[in-house]
Structure formats: structure tokens, C-alpha cells
Amino acid sequence: METEPPAIECRGLARYFGERTALREVTLKVPAGASLAVLGRNGAGKSTLLRILASLLRPHAGEVLIFGEPLPRRAWAVRARLGLLGHEPLLYRELTGRENLDYHARLHRVPAERVTEVLAAVDMDRRAEDPVRLLSRGMVQRLAIARAVLHRPQLLLLDEPRANLDPGASELVEPLIGRAAGVTRVLTSHDPRAALAEADLVLALKSGRPVFAGEPTAFDDRRLAELYA
């Protein structure tokens, strides 16, 4: 019987920007359907890791496999299964929310009805015809979430997904990007306790190097305090 490959597998992953080491010796395995919280101070390498997993950055050393497919060689085979919500919303400011989502839907060959569906899911259907430049940050973030889940990805890479969202909006997007979404997730958060609460696995990074990888129950307050000290 064929076993399902892990959603993410990294072995000895490293990435440099010039002489600066952004990531090194990152080894992890995330089973399909699990949630991984990536913790660390600003500049620890969290966003770099997410961009490598999204196939937007090449690793300089080590191996990365997404759903069993090696990156970047077979990135084309997994791109349709990935959804990235990064610091940038990846939306054109001069286009309306609907036009932006239509554009992404066409690129991903998603039916137009799905655009209406996700706009309603993030409660942006009434402002869908406004140019993105006229929307508040929270609204833009909701549109960015709609963009990230538009093509029903099986792996969500979420970099500070609830940034700029008020508690109501945060609750609203829960079925799309929370545990209830039922997909594999990698998430970073400015609120490590909230990230730990919704994670099955934790990867703690310090200056690009893993200092903890395991279950959240083993990541106690002392470790958390040390990580952010």
C-alpha cells in the first residue's frame, strides 16, 4: 500500500542573502493536515522559510519536498496546491477587489462563481467594486485571505495572517485559514501563544537556526521566554 508523503519535508535547509545567513540546518516534517507554528523574533528567518516553501526562493543547501515533490525542480507540480498569505497582499491597488480576485481566479483556472463565494466568506462583497487603494488595511487583509484560499489550496503558508484584523474579522476568516479549514498550515504570528494554541507542531528559530522542533506541549513558557529574550 502506498503511503501519503508528508505535506512538507525539509532536510538541512539553508538560505543566505549575500553574507548573511537567513536560514540554516532546518530539518522538519509536517504530515498532511497538521499545523506548524514557526516562532522567532523579527528577522529570525520565518518569512524566508515560508517563501522557500512557497517556491518563491531557492534554498542554497538542503532539500525541500512539498507533497513529495522536490523544490524548486518540481515546483510547477505543487504550485496549484499552495496558498501564500504573506506580508504583501499581492493585490493591485488600482483594481477593485473583485477584479483582483478575477485575475487570480483566471490564472488558477478557478470558476468565476468561486470569486463571489470567497468575497462573501470574508464579508467583502459590498466593497468588492471599490479599488483596493481605497480600502482599510483590515479590508485589504481580508481580500488577501480570499486571494490565498481562492483556489482551495491543500497547503496554506500564513505569515502573520491575522495582522490588521479586528476580533470580529479574525473570527470571520477562521473557517478559511484556521484549523477548521482542514488543510496543512504553516503559520507565523506576532502572538506566539495564539500560534501555539492552534498548532500541532512548533519550529522555533533563532538567527535562522532551529532551537526547538516538536510538539507545542513540550514548548513551555521558559523556552518561549528564552526565544524572545
Partner 1 sequence: MRTALIVLRKDLRVELRTLETVPAMVLLAVVTFVIFHFGLNRATIDGQLAAGVLTATLLFAAVLGINRLFVAEREQGGFDAFLLAPVDRSAMLLAKAAALFLFLSALEVIAVPAFALFLLGPPLGPALPGLILVLALANLGLSVIGTLLAAIAVQTRARDLIGPVISLPLLIPALIATARATGPLLTVHTSGSPPGRWLAILGLYDLVFALLAYAVFDFLLED
Q: Which residues bind partner 1 (CB under 8 A)?
A: 54-58, 72, 76, 79-80, 82, 84, 86, 88-95, 99, 103-104, 106-108, 131, 147
Minimum distance, C-beta of residue 13 to partner 1, in the bound complex (Å): 14
Q: How far is the CB of 66 from partner 1 (least distance, A)?
A: 13
Helix axes 97-107, 137-149, angle to 10 degrees: 20
181 in Cβ contact with 156 (< 8 Å): yes
Other CB atoms closer than 10 Å to residue 122's CB: what's the count?
A: 23
Torsion, Cα 83 32 8 50, to 10 degrees, reads 30
Q: Which is nearer to partner 1, 79 or 209 (CB)?
A: 79
In eight-state DSSP terms, residue 190 is S
Let me know: does 34 contact 201? Beta carbons within 8 Å: yes
Closest separation in Å from C-beta 159 to partner 1: 12
3-state helix, strand, coil in the chain (%, to 5): 35, 30, 35
DSSP states of 69-117:
EEETTTHHHHGGGEEEE-SS----TTSBHHHHHHHHHHHTT--HHHHHH
CB closer to partner 1, 45 vs 192? 45
Residue 175: CB minimum distance to partner 1, A: 22
Nearer residue to partner 1 within complex by CB, 21 or 29: 21
Q: How far is the CB of 125 from partner 1 (least distance, A)?
A: 21
User: Judged by CB, which is closer to partner 1: 119, or 144?
Assistant: 144
Closer to partner 1 by CB, 55 or 184: give it: 55
